[in-house]
Amino acid sequence: MEQVTAATLKQTSKVIAVHLAFTSRADQRGRTPANPSYFLKASSSLSLSGSEVERPAGCELLAYEGEIALVIGTTARRVSLDAAWSHVGYVTASNDLGIYDMKYADKGSNVRSKSGDGFTPFGPDLIPAASVDPAKLRVRTWVNGSIVQDDTTAGLIFSFARIIADLSQLMTLEPGDVILTGTPAGSSVAVPGDVIEVEVDSPDTGLSTGRLHTTVTQGSVEFAEFGNRPRATDVDREDAYGSAEAAGLAPKGLSAELRRKLTSVGTATLSSQLRKRGLNNVSIDGLNSTRPDVRIAGTARTLRFVPNREDLFKTHGGGYNAQKRIINTLNDGDVLVMEARGESGTGTLGDILALRAQINGAVAIVTDGGVRDVAAVTAMDIPTFHNGAHPAVLGRRHIPWDTDLTISCGGATVQPGDIIVGDADGLLVIPPSLAEEVANDAIAQEHEETFIADMVAAGNSVEGLYPMNPAWRTRFVEWSTTHPNPVSV
């Protein structure tokens, strides 16, 4: 066994990290990649066991990720899967630290969020790769003595051989290069004063790296005005902590009680209540429902299509594209809303993806574009609101471009988290801050309208009754004592 030393760190020309490689982490994230993807960390981020790592001033989300690190032993270029493991010299423990407060700044490259000084603790001991079975390694992480991550390489989505062979297709892996192979579930946020420990071992041989110790300290130097400064959203907090609950955030989506209220009244009534509050442009127009008998209410997830351009479709249209990613991550209570510019000359959804949305618990699908396989989609339980049937696939008119952003659908602006309510009359977008009061007032309005309808059916004129004058209002109050509102507010 050898120790990681300062000389070891100086031999590293590059540090390559895998985005997502453990099944437990993929399940937590709600997505499983078809192939591995990577990012680079600066070699200057490497540090030894016993070092301190600074949470920069102004940041709140320094996240730890216990990982198995591979140290390349011999040069690897275009190596086969069978030969890949032979190019690994050592296995050790690492902590892929990063600040989620800066993830936004570099458009996915993780340069500043992951490459801070000390953000890649490494060691303490090196296990010879030839002495262990890469399929039988274990990685564990402790925070202040409590274990928070515990998984084995039996849970890998991609084998180490596949990662090495894949990387070597494009770049030469040189002796001393480090590959961080992804973290299992359990990654979360550390605060100043926390001691994080990571250990990698081979239970069947008894070989171990020993525990990699890192202590978190608080930085005092603020980020300068001339560059990006830290910022964190609730989405960042949820990602950093691993769940909304762990981050102390309110649960997403509608409560069962609010959903019950919103689906107990018609969109016509809700529309009138929104109009009273000055909201006249909140209807998604021109769409047909596959289930006009069903009332829906849920929270919006959004997907934007852009007009097809053949060169861009090659890079954004195929594989695990934006459309497939968002449908694969829909949850209970979500309504997928798509911006297709009102272009119905191709399908924006088919039966397989609609089925996936249904299985994931989505409430409905809304698109101002076309739908393929319309008979099969119509036969499903999940309602789909669409702009017509069309047999063509995306590439004819659309490219799935981006997700979870403000979009336009059917003439209405929709933001992620907006409440979407729909029935046979159409679809409405309700700001979350108004949903409770709009629902309550709509329930009260429909109770009044039941009384008015009864009075009209009895032969009364609508004059003075619709809307009610004081005399009719008095009669309504009397009527309500024997006809209580069936929907409690």
| Digit-coded pLDDT (tens) for 444-477 | 998 988 999 999 999 999 999 888 899 999 999 9
The tokens of 167 are what?
A: 């990387």
Which residues does residue 63 pair with via DSSP β-bridges, in sequence order? 98, 189
What SS3 class is residue 394?
helix
**307 pLDDT more than 80:** yes
| Digit-coded pLDDT (tens) for 229-249 | 998 887 788 889 988 778 876
CATH number at residue 328: 3.50.30.40
One domain for residues 220 and 365: no
* 409 in a structural domain: yes
Rounded percentage of the chain residues whose pLDDT exceeds 90: 74
**335 pLDDT more than 80:** yes
One domain for residues 83 and 209: yes
| H-helix or E-strand spanning residue 336 | strand 334-339
* Residue finishing a domain among 220, 241, 262: 241
* 301 in a structural domain: yes
One domain for residues 103 and 222: yes
One domain for residues 291 and 338: yes
**34 pLDDT more than 90:** no
* 454 in a structural domain: no
**pLDDT at site 170:** 94
Contact 365, 407 (CB under 8 A): no
**9 pLDDT more than 90:** no
Domain range for 142 is 2-241
**pLDDT at site 369:** 95
**pLDDT at site 487:** 66
**pLDDT at site 128:** 96
* 456 in a structural domain: no
Backbone angles phi, psi at 260, to 5 degrees: -60, -45
Average pLDDT of the residues of the chain: 92
One domain for residues 223 and 294: no
The tokens of 95 are what?
A: 């902590």
Band (481; pLDDT cuts 50, 70, 90): confident
* 480 in a structural domain: no
As a whole number, mean pLDDT of residues 54-71 equals 95
CA–CA dist 469, 99 (Å, integer): 62
One domain for residues 175 and 297: no
As a whole number, mean pLDDT of residues 268-286 equals 94
**11 pLDDT more than 60:** yes
**Cis peptide upstream of residue 124 (ω within 30 degrees of 0):** yes
| H-helix or E-strand spanning residue 326 | helix 322-328
One domain for residues 57 and 189: yes
As a whole number, mean pLDDT of residues 419-437 equals 93
With vertex at residue 301, the alpha carbon angle to CA 298 and CA 303, rounded to the nearest 5 degrees, is 140
Distance of alpha carbon 280 from its chain centroid, rounded?
Answer: 31
One domain for residues 51 and 190: yes
**250 pLDDT more than 70:** no
SS3 annotation, 24-84: HHHHHHCCCCCCCCEEEECHHHEEECCEEEEECCCCCCEEECEEEEEEECCCECCCCHHHH
* 388 in a structural domain: yes
One domain for residues 222 and 309: no
One domain for residues 289 and 236: no
Contact 133, 204 (CB under 8 A): yes
* Residue finishing a domain among 186, 219, 241: 241
Contact 35, 159 (CB under 8 A): no
CB-based contacts of 265-269 (< 8 A; 24+ apart in sequence)? 265/439, 265/442, 265/443, 265/445, 265/446, 265/487, 266/295, 266/423, 266/425, 266/446, 267/421, 267/422, 267/423, 267/425, 267/426, 267/427, 267/428, 268/425, 269/442, 269/445, 269/446, 269/449
Which residues does residue 198 pair with via DSSP β-bridges, in sequence order? 141, 212
As a whole number, mean pLDDT of residues 46-70 equals 95
One domain for residues 297 and 149: no
* Residue finishing a domain among 241, 261, 295: 241
**DSSP state, 424?**
T
One domain for residues 236 and 317: no
**429 pLDDT more than 90:** yes
| Digit-coded pLDDT (tens) for 96-129 | 999 999 988 887 789 999 999 999 999 999 999 9
- Residue whose C-alpha is closest to residue 82's, from 167, 22, 159, 170: 159
- First-to-last alpha carbon distance for the chain, in angstroms, is 69
* 471 in a structural domain: no
* 58 in a structural domain: yes
Number of domains in the chain: 2
CATH number at residue 111: 3.90.850.10
Cite the DSSP H helix spans in 422-469: 435-457
As a whole number, mean pLDDT of residues 320-349 equals 92
Band (332; pLDDT cuts 50, 70, 90): confident
